Amino acid sequence: MSVYRPFAALLLCVAVSAVPAAGQQGAPVMVVPRESQHATVSQAVGLSDISISYHRPAVKGRKIWGALVPFDSVWRAGANENTVLAVTSPFTIGGTRLPAGRYGLHTIPTATTWTIILSREASNWGSFSYDPADDAVRFRATPQAAPQTEWLRYTLDDPTDSTVIVTLHWEKLSVAFPVTVSTNEIVMDSLEHQLAGLQQFWPTGWLEAARWALAHNTGLDRASAWTDRAIRIAPSFAALRLKATLLEREGDRASAEALRTQAMSVATEADINALGYQLLGQGKTDEAIALFRKNVKDYPRSWNVYDSLGEALALKGAKKEALANYQKALEMSPEGQHARIRATMAALR
């Protein structure tokens, strides 16, 4: 293995850049475009930001692989300064977990396989002062035939909530490798940090954090503790039902059912209405209708309870009763709702 070192070209570059544009000592240097222009590409993955900063050489009819870019030599995977991979959270690449930071991206191409290198030194000029002692990780990647790309380009492809694929495209070749972050762990730590601030004084923050953990099936012990904190601040319908769900997940069905009963005793019209629509979304129409009937009984002066009951009854196919409830809603609702309700009733008829 050797390090690609075209010293004559490098010295010429340094010499030219050191000469003032006006040719006189002390004269200002003029700024002109670089032959290989700078580019960046970035992608959010969960709460992490992944980016690549690089310079884009062109093919210009030249033979690239094994010629302009020699095989078995360390190459900067771009032009000019280091190509830099930056990740804002700890991440895994090539089977190795690395801390957040900026890393110099180097490669060793061959005709059949490439070695990808991340260096802890991210401020080199290309690979001229590359030192293997600075390697954070080395791993293999397989080049693939690809459509012609005149100017070298990086893309961050197929992002998920925890991964993205880094792909280098140049000439008729591409090389790809994944970067993975532990999004659940990162988010849970972030939530813990946020809850140490002003969020701790309101139940909403504790509940939002617990709901996220439950939805992603992670840190359920912490989610349970966060829900307890919300209940201590305000034993609301939402908090009690969330705690019930967590208890049921733990297998304590009796305690879960007791909390659901307690939740119903403090439920507001909006709470029952939202739960009814949640049940409708789950296809539990009869259970939703029972809740909407409860709201009609408890809040007979609210037009919205009749509107919701009418919708659920219509879904069930009980058109006559649905129309009766929509008529009640029409008589009590503000004018802005009339056109919608009338159109709904016309469709039912």
Question: How many Å apart are CA 125 and CA 36, to the nearest integer?
Answer: 14
Structure confidence by residue, pLDDT tens digits, 219-236: 999 999 999 999 999 999
Helix, strand, or coil here: 173? strand
Tell me how many helices (H) and strands (E) the chain has: 11, 12
Helix, strand, or coil here: 221? helix
Question: How many Å apart are CA 2 and CA 54, to the nearest integer?
Answer: 22
Quick one: average pLDDT of 17-44?
75
Quick one: average pLDDT of 206-229?
97
Tell me if 108 sits within 8 A of 117, measured CB to CB: yes
% of the chain surpassing 90 pLDDT: 87
Q: State residue 287's pLDDT score.
A: 96
% of the chain surpassing 70 pLDDT: 93
Prediction pTM value: 0.77
CA-based torsion, 293, 298, 302, 304: positive or negative: negative
Which residue, among 97, 127, 124, 100, has the nearest Cα to 115 in the 3D structure? 127
Structure confidence by residue, pLDDT tens digits, 4-23: 444 333 333 333 333 344 44
Identify the structural domains of the chain with CATH numbers, from first to last. 2-12+36-180 (no CATH), 182-266 (1.25.40.10), 269-349 (1.25.40.10)
Token pair belonging to 347: 């469709």
DSSP 100: S
Structure confidence by residue, pLDDT tens digits, 260-309: 999 999 999 999 999 999 999 999 999 999 999 999 999 999 999 999 99
What are residue 137's DSSP bridge partners? 118
Virtual torsion, Cα 94, 95, 96, 97, nearest 10 deg: 110
Structure confidence by residue, pLDDT tens digits, 83-133: 999 999 999 999 999 999 999 999 999 999 999 999 999 998 888 889 999
DSSP 211: H
Question: How many Å apart are CA 272 and CA 270, to the nearest integer?
Answer: 6
Comparing 123-137, 181-195, 333-347, which segment has the lowest mean pLDDT? 123-137
Query: What does DSSP say about strands 2-3 and 73-74: parallel, antiparallel, or unpaired?
Result: parallel
